[in-house]
Structure 1
Amino acid sequence: MPRMSIVQGEFHVASEPGVIIATLLGSCVAACLQDPVARVGGMNHFLLGEPGADQMVGPADMQRYGVHAMELLINAMMQRGAVRSRLRGHLYGGANIVAGLGGIGSSNAAFARTFMETEGIAIGRCELGGVQARKVEYMPYEGRVRSTLVAEAPALPPRPRKPVLADAGDVELF
């Protein structure tokens, strides 16, 4: 099966059976969309929902934002024969993995839900939030998704301690 991995700011669209699109998410969000009639689907992976009003973002960085990444995905699907009104989707990610980052994951999740509702795109599976990363594998032709939580990094083994030699007195060597 052909496998396409995507990272932040990327998307991929396919209309062939057997293609798998995969990504790994933390606070980022991935939308998996499909037109079940045209059998066209795709996935994106965005870092943040929208840039701040005072934030200057160059054209090359816009696809890292959901507001742009969603339109890129939808337009690419429509170029392959999808009809916007038939789109269905699944949402993944938006975890709050690092406590000190404030609720970036929650903000991303809220953006994704609002976008889908505003655009009238029905949401099927929705696995947003939590505190763990997710691995997402999407088969766009079939519209099937597999999402698995990524286990926490294994604890480091305890560092070996240097043996403390007790004062045993004189040592005689032969």
Structure 2
Amino acid sequence: MLHQPITPTTPPVLRPVRLTVLQGQARVSGDPRVELTTVLGSCIACCLFDPTSNVGGMNHFLLAEPNTQNGVDEHYGVYLMEVLINEMLAYGASRQAMRAHLYGGANMHAGMSRIGSANAAFASDFLERERIIVVRTSLGGVQARRVEFRPARGQARCRVVDEVVSAQPAPRPAASRGDVELF
């Protein structure tokens, strides 16, 4: 009988699952393959994680609070912070063990109201009131950020997005009367 040589088997490579978190969304996962990603200007992304249960999540809000009492809107931080915490608890996280990262809050346009600063202040104050420890921040400035967060591990990467000046398109020559322009 011939014996086949025994070769060690390597575990299969698990490909990361990238999920984009858009404005007005909150996503939670305990899957080590999941990576949550978003791009922020004046918006805020709060990344929460619980290192004891290996659960984490990210939200992305446009404004801190509505200026009127016209109901709940998922684009506001006051709503999305609660959604993120409640989803984390539903996945088995402990409120006492939660840790946070905060990103965004840039003031992108000179001369306009400082929406980014107001968003950053709201998020920081909210987490302080909830007694959730903030372990990392990248807030303010004038440039957009790209955030990638691995919720099961609490690992985040935040990169400033370089300003890209797009080339202005060349003006199209005006068609004379009677001509047909095909495109």
Q: Same fold (TM over 0.5)?
A: yes
Alignment partner for residue 38 of structure 2, among 7, 23, 41? 23
| 2:105 corresponds to | 94
| 1:80 corresponds to | 91
| 1:44 corresponds to | 59
Q: Does 1:6 align with 2:21?
A: yes
Q: Does 1:123 align with 2:138?
A: no
Deviation readout 1:48-78 (Å, 9 max, x if unpaired): 11112xx14344xx22111110000000010
Q: Does 1:57 align with 2:96?
A: no
| 2:77 corresponds to | 66
Deviation readout 1:9-64 (Å, 9 max, x if unpaired): 00100001121000000000000000100000000000111112xx14344xx221
Question: Alignment identity in percent?
Answer: 51
- Number of equivalenced pairs: 156
State the TM-score, normalized to the length of structure 1: 0.85
Q: Counterparts of 2:112 and 2:80 in 1: how far apart (Å)?
A: 22
Structure 2 counterpart of 1:127, one-letter code: S
Shift of 1:99: 1.9
State the TM-score, normalized to the length of structure 2: 0.81
Deviation readout 1:121-153 (Å, 9 max, x if unpaired): 000111000000000000001100010001101
User: SS at 2:74's partner residue?
Assistant: helix
Structure 1: runs of 5 or more not aligned? 161-174
User: SS at 1:70's partner residue?
Assistant: helix
How large is the Cα RMSD of the aligned pairs? Answer: 1.5
Q: Counterparts of 1:46 and 1:100 in 2: how far apart (Å)?
A: 22
Structure 2 counterpart of 1:108, one-letter code: N
| 1:114 corresponds to | 125
Q: Counterparts of 1:131 and 1:68 in 2: how far apart (Å)?
A: 26
Structure 2: runs of 5 or more not aligned? 1-15, 172-183
Q: Counterparts of 1:17 and 1:35 in 2: how far apart (Å)?
A: 13
Bigger fraction of residues in helix: 1
Deviates more, 1:97-106 or 1:39-48: 97-106
